């Protein structure tokens, strides 16, 4: 089947990336996965093959630009093109901002932000020849609404959004047919909470409500088909983003009050994957399956903003009409 479409997923061996690999395999795609750990790569390749896809595993650290470009070259050498590139790789550090070292900030930035930049540039180099293809950035509601204990990760995701918005304008200027979109995710039941570096007592956990990686992966795949400017996945993402737009100071106080203890659960932190991969198959899901919902709503950011703008115009119009009527009544 030479006409099978091709997707490349960075960080595709665990969490949402692993769920995406399975989702595209079920659709019959050719699935190339970039990751550091050999155990995860082997397990993901087996998943893709069982689901009906054609796998290609590429051992690479996305912070290494040369390795990412070489991986993209290998995909094109084997399958002739890249239809969809998903930048999903990330690492994080949990703890108060001052407890993280400069080296830890640099590492989170190199993987979560610069890894997105490297993947995007590698994809563009091959997509420009055909003037087609889609690049999808896996973002987070934290790209808009930062929370305590995750300063490095929030900053990296905000940087991804800034980079993506700038590049989108350039592609529009060039009248390019390459599509660029970003999905802002809610809390998801993934293994990151079991292998993230932490500087707090206890084990990190997501702020509820929590969603399954499979439900989120399906929403992402739908976004990749239509490629809106941005898609907000999950009601918590919509609430966090809109709340920050409307009342950022209030949201600051809410996060200070509620988002600290809710991110720390019982138990002891395990070995982390910040600098080196954890060599075991972590799968797609974390330890919060009993709390995770397999239903998730999604809306494109422009749709929400248009609705808000329309609502604002209606309110403004009603106010102007009422003012005019009152003025007429007062006019003798």
| CB of 318 closer than 8 Å to CB of 56 | no
pLDDT in tens, 141-153: 999 999 999 999 9
Is the CB of residue 193 less than 8 Å from the CB of residue 287?
yes
Q: At what angle do helices 114-130 and 151-173 cross, to 10 degrees?
A: 20
Place of tokens 């809390």: 187
Q: Token pair for residue 243?
A: 């709340």
Task: Please compute the mean of the pLDDT values over residues 191-213 and round it to a whole number.
Answer: 94
The residue with greater pLDDT, 300 or 219, is 219
Which two tokens mark 258?
A: 């509620």
CB burial of 188-207 (b: ≥16 within 10 Å; e: otherwise) equals: bbbbbbbbbbbbeeebbbbb
Gyration radius (Cα) of the chain, Å: 21
Distance CA 19, CA 138 (A): 13
* pLDDT band, residue 315 (cuts 50/70/90): very low
Q: What is the pLDDT of residue 327?
A: 45
Q: Which pLDDT tens digit goes with each residue over 282-313?
A: 999 999 998 999 998 888 865 655 555 555 54
Take residue 49 and report the two structure tokens written for it.
């093959």
Catalytic status, residue 153:
yes
Number of C-beta neighbours around residue 38 at 10 A: 13
pTM above 0.85, yes or no: yes
- Residue 81: its pLDDT value, please? 97
pLDDT digits (tens, 9 = 90+) for 115-126: 999 999 999 999
* DSSP 3-state percent helix, strand, coil across the chain (nearest 5): 50, 15, 30
Confidence of residue 50 (pLDDT cuts 50, 70, 90): very high
Neighbours of 302 (CB within 10 A): 12
Q: List, in sequence order, the alpha helices (H) in the chain.
A: 15-26, 38-50, 65-79, 102-108, 114-130, 151-173, 192-195, 213-226, 235-246, 248-258, 301-330
Quickly state the pLDDT bin for 218 (edges 50, 70, 90).
Answer: very high
pLDDT value at position 91? 98
CA distance 185 to 216: 8
Residue in 24, 113, 144, 153 annotated catalytic: 153
CA gap 122, 124 in Å, rounded: 6
Evaluate whether 204 touches 35 at the Cβ level (below 8 Å): no
- pLDDT > 70 fraction of the chain, expressed in percent and rounded: 90
């Amino acid at each position: 089947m030479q006409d099978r479409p091709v997707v490349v997923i960075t960080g595709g061996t665990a969490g949402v990336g692993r769920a995406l690999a399975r989702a595209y395999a079920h659709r019959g795609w050719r699935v190339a996965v970039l990751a550091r750990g050999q155990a995860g790569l082997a397990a993901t390749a087996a998943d893709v093959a069982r689901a009906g896809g054609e796998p290609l595993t590429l051992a690479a650290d996305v912070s290494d630009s040369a390795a990412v470009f070489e991986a993209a070259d290998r995909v094109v050498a084997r399958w002739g093109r890249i239809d969809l590139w998903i930048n999903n790789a990330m690492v994080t550090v949990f703890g108060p901002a001052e407890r993280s070292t400069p080296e830890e900030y640099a590492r989170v930035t190199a993987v979560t932000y610069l890894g997105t930049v490297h993947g995007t540039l590698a994809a563009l180099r091959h997509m420009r020849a055909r003037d087609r293809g889609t690049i999808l950035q896996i973002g987070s509601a934290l790209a808009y609404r930062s929370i305590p204990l995750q300063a490095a990760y929030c900053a990296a995701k905000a940087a991804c959004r800034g980079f993506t918005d700038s590049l989108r304008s350039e592609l529009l200027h060039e009248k390019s047919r390459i599509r660029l979109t970003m999905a802002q995710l809610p809390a998801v039941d993934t293994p990151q909470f079991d292998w993230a570096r932490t500087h707090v007592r206890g084990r990190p956990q997501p702020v509820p409500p929590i969603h399954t990686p499979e439900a989120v992966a399906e929403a992402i795949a739908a976004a990749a088909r239509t490629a809106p400017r941005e898609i907000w996945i999950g009601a918590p993402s919509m609430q966090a983003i809109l709340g920050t737009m409307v009342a950022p100071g209030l949201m600051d106080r809410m996060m200070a009050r509620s988002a600290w203890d809710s991110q720390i659960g019982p138990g002891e932190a395990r070995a982390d994957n910040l600098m080196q991969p954890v060599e075991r198959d972590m799968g797609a899901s974390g330890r919060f399956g009993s709390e995770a919902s397999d239903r998730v709503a999604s809306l494109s950011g422009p749709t929400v903003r248009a609705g808000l703008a329309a609502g604002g115009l209606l309110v403004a119009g009603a106010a102007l009409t009422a003012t005019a009527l009152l003025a007429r009544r007062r006019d003798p």
